[in-house]
Amino acid sequence: MGRGSRPAWRLRLSWARPLGRLVRRLGQFVGKQWHQSAWVAEGRFLVEGILWDVARRWPRLGARNRRRRVGSGDEGPVRRLSALRFELAWVPMAHAQGLEIAHTATRLGVHVGTENLTRNQTVWSDAIHESVLVSAYPLALWLASSWWRLHWEPLLAPGAHVTLEWRKAHEMESAGFGFVWPRVLFASDGEAMQIWAVAARSRSKNRKAVRYLTGTEGPVSVPLTDFTQGVDDFMAATVWRLKVRTRLYGDSTLRTLWDDLRGDRADPRRAQWRRCEAELGFPIGQCPNGLMDKALALQDVMGPAVSELLPVYGKAAGLAFVPLEALSGTPGIAGRPMDPRAPKTRTAPQGASWAQAALMAHEVRAAIGLAAGPLEDKVLYDLLGVPKDTKPHATLGPAARAAVAIPGIRDEYRILIREGDRPTQRFAWARLFADFLLPEAARGPWLASTDLMTWRQKYQRALAAELLCPIEALKAYLNGNTSPAGVDLAARDFGVPIEIVEAVLSYNGILSSRVRFGEPKTGFPYYQGRFASEFAWLPGGKGVATFRKM
């Protein structure tokens, strides 16, 4: 054998890849029926499986042929990197449940920022893998069918029962099809997608074939636009793979879901219908038309505030539309809120950032000449424009799900506050004032305060907390004493609930807490498990998941 010649076994293996390409071309040339026949598919998988095994065992063999240009046929369109990334490396998979599953087999990596949610360890080896072998088709079906609820259905109010239907729409494990998916929860706050991931226990009794190793401390927030872009890129890559590899895409369920979804998103009226449907807690097309007509009519009256009220009066609350519609006729306390800040010095809120809300609260305090110290009741009611001869009181019972301010004539509002003790009511008044400070285009005519974890409610809580209990005044009062007794005294003298003092200290890095104003530090934001003993002390009883108290 000469110096420049190649071994005979390498020459024989070099025919494998052209043979695989020939089989694929023949299948595409002869036609759809012949291309879908089982023996051709199995033959193609056999050839591709041999090539994949050879490439794994001898990486240098055929390395030149394995290089592909970005954006070539199998990769699909070039994807823009975002805060949420689905990384796909297509691999052959024989003996799958169907050709759609087999043709979309991939080594999947799900990355949220710097976190790799698919880092795992299998039962067959102790090696750590950065991706997991699954099919992209089931995940694409789940994302397409849950798209509207993922984007617009928030976490339920504290203490609400989490139904199986809700979990199916928000937990990635619901993609199913026999694959072991990571325990990841998606829940939108209207501005950002909050993502929780729970790592599998190393000594769990219900050990699965794949053990995921990544768990997040609290929710990881991804801008909603980035989440949408990441899902769209994943869907485009999966659809491209199906179109290139098989003729089945035209008759697949994925095509129907994806085409309908794109059509709904492109039509503003249909998009608004789907959004209201998701906020009420219904899957696509399952909300009764009469209920949807009522929701759309309320939206015309309330504006953006309806998105804060529909989830708390929707399906999770037993469709309590009678109390919601009755709010318009409920008597309340007249008030004319005012923004004491000079127009040129006003900070426009940008999302649910605590720092932004704190800055706005400090601006309000500076405008009324109160840099430090507790905020008196009289000053708080003056900010809301309550007449001096009126004694503020609760106009709604303790079972009410929201506090609202309904616009009237000449910038006057009719304010409806839920029943509670003095600190709770002070915080409720401050939250409605915080809602009033939002630009009218963002808040709409109605002001609404609920127990949800939407960006608007989180902004309200942060501004109200810093308005009633500013961090500098709180630090001066405590003088380093962050014991439970010190926190209790501070809550009493500042006139706020104890949880507010803990939240202010926690967000400013002074007090270490497992809960940051409603955001659990580890695990999902609700308790769940397989055995009754894990639920014995919960109000929901056996087998019912309940949101953590926030």
Three-state DSSP state, 55: helix
* 350-405 pLDDT tens trace: 655 788 888 899 999 999 988 778 899 899 999 999 887 777 776 787 778 889 99
Cα gap 356→459, rounded to integer Å: 9
Q: Report whether 310 contacts 454 (CB < 8 A).
A: no
What pLDDT score was predicted for residue 163?
84
Higher pLDDT, 142 or 76: 142
- Helices 268-280, 289-302: inter-axial angle, 10-degree rounding: 100
pLDDT digits (tens, 9 = 90+) for 139-175: 999 999 999 999 999 988 777 778 888 999 999 999 9
pLDDT at 420: 85
pLDDT tops 90 at residue 216 = no
pLDDT at 264: 94
Q: Which two tokens stand for residue 41?
A: 């598919």
Residue 53 is predicted with a pLDDT of 52
- Cα–Cα dist 189/153, whole Å: 8
Residue 282, SS3?
coil
- CA 522/CA 217 separation, integer angstroms: 5
Give the DSSP per-residue string, 185-251: EEEE-SSEEEEEEEPPPTT-SS--SEEE----BSPEEEEHHHHHHHHHHHHHHHHHHHHHH-SGGGG
159: left (phi over 0), alpha (psi -120 to 50) or beta: left
pLDDT band at 427 (very low <50, low <70, confident <90, very high): very high
What pLDDT is attached to residue 151? Answer: 95
Return the percentage of the chain with pLDDT > 90, whole number: 34
**Do 430 and 361 contact (CB within 8 A), yes or no?**
no
Instruction: Output the pLDDT for position 95.
Output: 60
Of the pLDDT bands very low, low, confident and very high (cuts 50, 70, 90), residue 36 is very low
Instruction: State yes or no: pLDDT of 83 exceeds 50.
Output: yes
CA gap 53, 66 in Å, rounded: 13
Tokens 């961090």 found at? 471
pLDDT surpasses 70 at 54:
no
pLDDT at 31: 41
Q: What average pLDDT does the structure give for the chain? A: 78
Q: Which two tokens stand for residue 15?
A: 């025919």
Res 274: pLDDT: 95
- Residue whose tokens read 């009420």: 280
Whether pLDDT at 79 is above 50: no
The reported pLDDT for the residue numbered 512 is 67
Residue 280 DSSP label: H
**pLDDT per position as a tens digit, 440-457:** 888 889 999 998 889 999
pLDDT confidence of 82, banded at 50, 70, 90? low
Cα 146 to chain center, whole Å?
A: 12
Q: Average pLDDT of 72-98?
A: 62
Residue 248 pLDDT more than 50? yes
Residue 163: in which H helix or E strand, if any?
none
Q: Does residue 314 carry a pLDDT above 60?
A: yes
Q: pLDDT per residue over 251-306, tens digit each?
A: 678 888 999 999 999 999 999 999 999 999 999 988 888 889 989 999 999 999 99
User: Are the C-beta atoms of 87 and 131 separated by less than 8 Å?
Assistant: yes
Q: What is the mean pLDDT of residues 332-353?
A: 78
Element (H, E) at 116: strand 115-116
